[in-house]
Structure 1
Amino acid sequence: MSTIKVTNLTFAYDGSFDNIFENVSFQIDTDWKLGFTGRNGRGKTTFLNLLLGRYEYSGTISAQVQFEYFPYPIENKERITAEIIQEMIPDYMHWELLREFSFLQMDEEVLERPFATLSNGEQTKVLLAALFLKENSFLLIDEPTNHLDMGARKLVSDYLQTKSGFILVSHDRAFLDNCVDHILSINKTNIEIQKGNFSTWWENKERQDNYELAENERLKKDIRRLSESAKRTSNWSHEVEKTKNGTRNSGSKVDKGYVGHKAAKMMKRAKSLEQRQHAAIEEKSKLLKNVEQGDTLKIAPLAYHKDRLVELVDVAIFYGDKQVTSGIRFSVSQGERIALSGKNGSGKSSILKLICGEDVRYTGTFRKGSQLKISYVSQDTSHLQGNLTDYARSNGLDESLFKAILRKLDFSRVQFEKDMAAFSGGQKKKVLIAKSLCERAHLYVWDEPLNFIDVISRMQIEELLLEHAPTILFVEHDSEFCKNIATKVIEL
């Protein structure tokens, strides 16, 4: 057991005027299982790269362990999997690898296959098994859950629960709760560490946020009251001061000493009130620095003239000559929120594409309402490039509404000037979701919309769907999201 010490870490990218980290200090026990959370674009992957020594920074990072990054970069995925593992760990023991494979329910035969032929889940498991064989290493695991189905997520989470000595970046609440014992969070103004899982951290954060919001309201009232009182007392002081040169009703001279003393006393009281006001303002300025403003999102779905929007009866889906699924039978009615579930490769995305009018080979009966308007969020974000203004115009979106939604999803105004190609994975996904929320549709079809998206934004999207109840058909492997949102689950 040893510690990783971060002292006065400050870092900004070349050409940027804003520091991503500024004088950050904390330490980590190398036996901890750390969940790493924070909103998209806050610098989680950047911090992992700093630990790996990939960027220059000021301050110090000291550790007596080697850092290993997941996913391991593989240049040629056509190579045999066993060769790739040999390159990663030249002196590994074969029996140790097979032991890890057994924990992950992996067959030895995958070692003889080209890495490219392995599914996303198999690739994830192979790389994790290999990396945990490295002695005296601390793993930096960057979003392993993306594109994993629910079964694979549960298996990988159970596997990580048996391990220690890692930082895990994930936005899947159930996944984190199952396998971490500390949370490392990047907040608006600092980085902090708390003992416990994600749910414990979130409860503490909500408690702290609620306290700060209540204290903020109390101080705002105090500042208003003190300000009015100080102003009133100051005005009284000036009025009394004016009487020094006047006369009493009886015609006798005013006692200037008495009046001056009274005016000075009232002015002193006004100054005291102002000082208390400034102290309250200063105290207020310390609050709300890390309160996440998860502003309410809105959507304006269209009502369709019939209750049933889509129907599939005994549909089979084909990839080329290969049939991947058959006997698909379900319908989509207005107001339903349907989760399409199943293992990767079971045809979920193909069904969504079929409903959206793309060219998908199928047999069976497929019916879709005439003049049905559909808003589609694809898994793929690789086409996003250029600026947000041009993107809004080319897609016929209300630019101000589109950008307002992105602001609510924690986009800074600086992001509006950047090329979308430079956005993080989560920010790109938010662009597609914001586009969909701008579109008035009868049916919303979302394919893995939450990949890379931070937890707070996931909660905002949950609240939106529950409040406005659009008709939606979606594929999503975040079990907490599906449990909270789906009115019906279709298992393939």
Structure 2
Amino acid sequence: MSMIDVSNLTFGYEGSPELIFDHVGFQIDSGWKLGFTGRNGRGKTTFLRLLQGEYPYSGTISASVEFEYFPYEVANLSRTGLEVVREIAPEAEDWEIQRELGLLDLAERSLELPFSSLSNGERTKVLLAAMFLKENAFLLIDEPTNHLDLEGRRKLGSYLARKRGFLLVSHDRAFLDQCVDHILAINRTNIEIQRGNFSSWWENRRRQDAFELARQEKLQKDIGRLTESARRASGWSDRTEKSKFGVDKTGAKAADRGFVGHKAAKLMQRSKSIQRRREEAVEEKKQLLQNLERQEALAVTPLPCRTGARLAEFRDVAVCYNGRRVCREITFEVLAGERIALQGANGCGKSSLLKLLLGEEIPHSGTVETMSGLVVSYVSQNTDHLRGSLTEFVRTQGLDGSRFRTILRKLDVPREQFEKDLADYSSGQKKKVLLAASLCTQAHLYVWDEPLNFIDVISRMQVEDLLLACRPTLLFVEHDARFCDEIATRRIRIQRE
């Protein structure tokens, strides 16, 4: 395997006073299975584009492999899956294509259908299979799990675990643990590479942060002690120097001036030595905790409701598309204090069930009833509607602007981002806007549809801590296995018809 060498990489967007990368350097083995992590807005997508030569930059990126980006853009969606595979990997043999389909548990008939008719999960599998068929290619895989259900993520993780030579952007901790052997992390002040999966990297980061916090506390005490010692030593030196002249405290003549001067000089030297040690401690303290990811506590204040009260009920409900049912009839209640995860394969109607609860006109059978006066706060799966200024968004949503912006800052959205059009936000930042708006809203029931799509790992942990601390009633759809394990008090499985 060859090395991908990044040396003195420097890049900033035109018109922006801040650099995204400043003389960055590291090496990647082209045979690694590399997980790429970092908070939203740190430059992951920018780095992928730099590797592909889309932007001019200073420094060098040298590699003997070709970089291939996923998701591959299919220009003609009417072409069959097989034609798309042939377009991407024209040298692939039939048996190789069948092998990849088998590894992905993808039916061969998927290649016979128009690409437009395939589900998002099937498209993901077809494109990845085709791209791994290319020779001498290092794959840049950008968030492949979005829109994949839990089972789809597990199968894709098993597939990638068999492969080598890729850089994978994902915020799904369980998925990363399943299929990577190195982590490339964009930190607050540097970029680091560690051998292992996400969990081992995160544990090392926690230990490093704990060590630096303890070291900082000790240095703070040392600085205070040394400051006082330097002050006393300097005072003693000054008093000793003055005693060369006049009389001492007893009224006798001063001692030999040469001896006293020597003593004063030694005291002054001691004072300077202490001062130097203090300055060294201050300088060391400055170098600590530069990469500490602060997980500031979030909060939500639900409307009061008696624990166990029935907020909503689904009775024999089945969603219909084009006149046919897509899921089996389901009956369940939503009780105050619960955090219910709706789970099921892609296309089984999970999002539609949430919209029925909101009162939207969705073709269905059965009955949905809600508590009189029920107030719901909703986070939609889609963020495409976000555009315009943040101030206008706050006004139209009737939010407390100060609290809303405070939550965004705690979720690591930079203040300078507040002045930009929402349409120019990254996908993760848009999702944080919707989450922050929901957290600003007092409601009996919080309904969240894939709230973590595109959101970085640190922010996911913040949301987990919030939900466990504040315990709002929550009905949600989410495919992050670790999040569901931590948060769900009950799971409702939706079966496809």
Partners of 1:250 and 1:488 lie apart in 2 by: 86
3-state secondary structure, aligned to 1:284? helix
> 8 Å contact 1:397–1:439 — kept in the other structure?
yes
Partners of 1:237 and 1:381 lie apart in 2 by: 69
Could you say what the CA RMSD is over the residues aligned between the two structures, in angstroms?
A: 1.7
Alignment match of 1:321 (pick from 323, 326, 331): 323
Q: 1:250 to 1:470 in 2, by over 3 A?
A: closer
> 8 Å contact 2:306–2:336 — kept in the other structure?
no
1:421 maps to 423
Partners of 1:121 and 1:366 lie apart in 2 by: 29
Q: Tell whether 2:252 aligns with 1:290.
A: no
3-state secondary structure, aligned to 2:281? helix
> 8 Å contact 1:304–1:372 — kept in the other structure?
no
How far 1:198 moved relative to its partner? 1.0
1:309 maps to 311
3-state secondary structure, aligned to 1:325? coil
- Number of residue pairs matched? 492
3-state secondary structure, aligned to 2:391? helix
3-state secondary structure, aligned to 2:183? strand
- Matched letter for residue 453 of structure 2: N
Residues 397-456 of structure 1 deviation map (CA, whole Å, 9 limit, x = unaligned): 121211111111111222122222111111111111111111111111100001011111
After the TM superposition, which residues 120-139 of structure 1 pair with which residues of structure 2 at under 5 Å, given as runs?
Answer: 120-139=120-139
- TM-score normalised by length of structure 2: 0.95
How far 1:264 moved relative to its partner? 3.7
How far 1:236 moved relative to its partner? 4.1
How far 1:103 moved relative to its partner? 1.3
Alignment match of 1:391 (pick from 393, 400, 405): 393
Q: Tell whether 2:63 aligns with 1:63.
A: yes
How far 1:263 moved relative to its partner? 4.0
Residues 129-148 of structure 1 deviation map (CA, whole Å, 9 limit, x = unaligned): 10011011111110000010
After the TM superposition, which residues 162-311 of structure 1 pair with which residues of structure 2 at under 5 Å, given as runs?
Answer: 162-241=162-241, 247-248=247-248, 251-255=251-255, 260-305=261-306, 307-311=309-313
1:14 maps to 14
3-state secondary structure, aligned to 1:326? coil
Alignment match of 2:475 (pick from 459, 473, 476): 473
Alignment match of 1:432 (pick from 431, 434, 449): 434
3-state secondary structure, aligned to 1:381? coil
Q: 1:271 to 1:420 in 2, by over 3 A?
A: same
3-state secondary structure, aligned to 1:10? strand
Partners of 1:267 and 1:358 lie apart in 2 by: 81
Partners of 2:50 and 2:462 lie apart in 1 by: 30
Residues 43-97 of structure 1 deviation map (CA, whole Å, 9 limit, x = unaligned): 1111111111111111111111111110001233233333322322233322211
Residues 145-197 of structure 1 deviation map (CA, whole Å, 9 limit, x = unaligned): 00100111111111111111111111111111111111111111111111111
> 8 Å contact 2:376–2:443 — kept in the other structure?
yes
1:112 maps to 112
Range 327-336 or range 225-234, more displaced: 225-234
Partners of 2:311 and 2:321 lie apart in 1 by: 26
Partners of 1:240 and 1:370 lie apart in 2 by: 85
Partners of 2:471 and 2:246 lie apart in 1 by: 73
Alignment match of 2:350 (pick from 343, 348, 351): 348
Partners of 2:148 and 2:340 lie apart in 1 by: 19
How far 1:234 moved relative to its partner? 2.7
Residues 15-42 of structure 1 deviation map (CA, whole Å, 9 limit, x = unaligned): 2221111111111111111111111111
3-state secondary structure, aligned to 2:284? helix
Partners of 1:111 and 1:53 lie apart in 2 by: 32
- TM-score normalised by length of structure 1: 0.96
1:446 maps to 448
How far 1:237 moved relative to its partner? 3.8
How far 1:390 moved relative to its partner? 2.6
How far 1:245 moved relative to its partner? 5.1
Q: 1:491 to 1:248 in 2, by over 3 A?
A: same
1:490 maps to 492
Alignment match of 2:377 (pick from 375, 378, 381): 375
Residues 225-244 of structure 1 deviation map (CA, whole Å, 9 limit, x = unaligned): 21222223334444555555
1:99 maps to 99
> Any gaps of 5 or more consecutive residues in structure 2?
none
Partners of 1:76 and 1:387 lie apart in 2 by: 35
1:410 maps to 412
Residues 306-344 of structure 1 deviation map (CA, whole Å, 9 limit, x = unaligned): 711111111121224222223211111111111000011
What percentage of aligned pairs have identical amino acids? Answer: 61
